[in-house]
Structure 1
Amino acid sequence: MDDLWDDFERLSAVCRKVGAHHPPEEPKALQVGKVAEEAGEAMHALHGLKGLTTCADEHRWAEVQNDLVGAVIAALQAMHYIDPTGARDTFNEIIHHRTRRGLQATIA
Structure 2
Amino acid sequence: MDTLWDNIEKLSAVRRAAGAHLPDEELKALQIGKVAEEAGEAMQALHGLKDLTTCGHDHTWSEVQNHLVDAVIAALLAMHYIDPAGARATFGEIVHRRTRGGREAAGAV
The CA deviation at 1:18 is 1.4
The AA in structure 2 aligned to 1:21 is H
Which stretch has the larger CA shift, 62-71 or 15-24? 15-24
Return the offset for 1:104: 2.0
Alpha-carbon distance in structure 2 between the residues aligned to 1:45 and 1:78: 23
What do residues 62-98 of structure 1 show as CA deviations (whole Å, max 9, x unaligned)? 1100000000000000000000000000000000111
The match for 1:20 is 20
Counterpart check, 1:10 vs 2:10: yes
Q: Deviations over 1:2-37 (max 9, x none)?
A: 011011111111111111110110111011100000
Number of the residue aligned with 2:56: 56
Between the aligned partners of 2:80 and 2:45, the Cα distance in structure 1 is 27
Structure 2 match to 1:35: 35
Mapped to 1, the partners of 2:32 and 2:102 lie a distance apart of 26
Counterpart of 2:95 in 1: which secondary structure?
Answer: helix
TM-score (norm 1): 0.95
Gaps of 5+ in 2: none
- Percent sequence identity is 70
Inter-partner Cα distance in structure 1 for 2:14 and 2:41: 25
Letter in 1 for 2:68: L
Counterpart amino acid of 1:92? G
- Secondary structure of the residue aligned to 2:17 is helix
| One-letter amino acid matched to 2:89 | D
Aligned residues: 108
Residue type at the aligned position of 1:19: G
The letter for the 2-side match of 1:32 is I
How many Å separate the matches in 1 of 2:29 and 2:104? 34
- Measured after TM superposition, the shift of residue 105 of structure 1 is 3.5
Partners in 1 of 2:53 and 2:46 — Cα distance? 9
